Amino acid sequence: MSRTKNARRTRGSILFHAFALAVLVVILYPAVWMLMSSFKPSSEIIGEVSLLPANGGFQNYAKALEGIGGISFWTFVLNSLVLAAGSVVGILLSCSLAAYAFARVAFRGRNLFFVCMIATMLLPFHVVIIPQYIVFNNLGMINTYWPLLLGKFLATDAFFVFLMIQFIRGLPRELDEAAVIDGAGHPRIFFSIILPLMKPALVTSAIFAFIWSWNDFFGPLLYLKEPGMYTMPLALRLYVDQTSTSDYGAQMAMAILALLPVLLFFFAFQRQLVGGVATQGLKG
């Protein structure tokens, strides 16, 4: 009895892994193909199903690292880093403050604002970009990083506010109540009790904020006009436009380099990333 059951379980397990691995191959094929292509001469890339490079080497990377039109490759990396770091700081500061207000402070109008905040998650952002662009244009802020960073410091990304609210709601209320008895006001409760306990939510938010800022294409496309100000995705697009279309090898190398920080974050923090996505769907 138990032997047939065991045999059935083993067979089920083998079937499961066979299927899961098949899905994995299909899923990861484009990523692996991209990586392998970046080591191949361009003539070997298109139409080459085989993954292993026959005449592999780093020549594509050497070419990609040369930069674009006299602007160093590292300028683009630095620009992207500055923006990503600014986004992380802005989002952590502004969203944690807002989340605390929504989760722990009782005040008139809270429910109304909460509904507004959730509604902004569903709002197509195209309805605000035209007036925003006009205002930033009149303020002479085109081709600066202000339009890309301002919203981050003003908690416009409701995803992060919501994520932090969910986390704070999970913290025991007794902590606040004990602090109130000790005479602490909201600022003290926030800075010395809630904020330190929020670390996991802050880490998850920081990772997402960094990756989304790094990958952002539309914002920089609108506001950055001078190649010296370009972020990596813009530089990548410029590179594809400028190189002859057949030079796929260098394009792949550049594409890999543009994704590298995201991939590093993924490998280091996959647990937090997946956990952050999972909590998003659980209604509080």
Partner 1 sequence: MTATRQRARDRSTRAGYAFLSPWLIGFLGLTAGPMIASLYLSFTDYNLFTAPEFIGIENYQRLLTDSNFHQAAKVTALYVVFGTPIKLAAALGVAMLLHNSRRGQGFYRSAYYLPSLIGGSVSIAIVWKAMFIDEGIVAQIGAVFGGPDASAGGWVGDPGRTLPMLILLTVWQFGAPMVIFLAGLKQVPTEMYEAAEVDGAGPVRRFWNITIPLLSPVLFFNLLLETIHAFQIFNSAFIISNGSGGPAQSTLFYTLYLYFRGFRDFQMGYASAMAWVLVIVVGLISLLLFRSSKSWVHYSGDDR
* Sites for partner 1 among residues 91-150 (CB under 8 A): 93-95, 97-98, 100-102, 105-108, 110, 113, 116-117, 120, 122-135, 137, 150
Enumerate residues 6+ apart whose C-beta is below 8 A from 190: 97, 100, 104
227 near 68, Cβ under 8 Å? yes
* Sites for partner 1 among residues 186-215 (CB under 8 A): 186-187, 190, 211, 215
Query: In whole angstroms, what is the distance from residue 58 CA to residue 207 CA?
Result: 30
Q: Which is nearer to partner 1, 31 or 62 (CB)?
A: 31
Q: Which is nearer to partner 1, 78 or 135 (CB)?
A: 135
Query: In whole angstroms, what is the distance from residue 35 CA to residue 24 CA?
Result: 16
Q: How far apart are CB 165 and partner 1 at their closest, in Å?
A: 11
Q: How far apart are CB 164 and partner 1 at their closest, in Å?
A: 11
Structural tokens at position 143? 């081709």
**Which position among 118, 263, 264, 268 is part of the footprint of partner 1 (CB under 8 A)?**
263
Q: Is 71 helix (H, G, I), strand (E, B) or coil?
A: strand
**Which position among 7, 28, 118, 264 is part of the footprint of partner 1 (CB under 8 A)?**
28
Q: What is the DSSP letter of 39?
A: T
* Ranges assigned E (strand) in 56-195: none
* Sites for partner 1 among residues 216-235 (CB under 8 A): 217-218, 222, 233
Enumerate residues 6+ apart whose C-beta is below 8 A from 26: none
Q: Which stretch binds partner 1 (CB under 8 A): 60-68, 79-87, 88-96, 171-179?
A: 88-96
Query: In whole angstroms, what is the distance from residue 262 CA to residue 62 CA?
Result: 21
Q: Which is nearer to partner 1, 2 or 111 (CB)?
A: 111
Q: Which stretch binds partner 1 (CB under 8 A): 53-61, 67-75, 165-173, 272-280?
A: 272-280
Structural tokens at position 134? 């006009």
| Strand partners of residue 68 | 71
Q: How far apart are CB 72 and partner 1 at their closest, in Å?
A: 19
Give phi and psi for 68, each to the nearest 5. -125, 125
Q: Which stretch binds partner 1 (CB under 8 A): 18-26, 52-60, 70-78, 165-173?
A: 18-26
In angstroms, the first-to-last Cα distance of the chain is 46
Binding mask of the shown chain, residues 37 to 76, with x at each position contacting partner 1 by CB under 8 A: x-------xxxxx---------------------------
Residue type, 275: G
Q: Which is nearer to partner 1, 83 or 211 (CB)?
A: 211
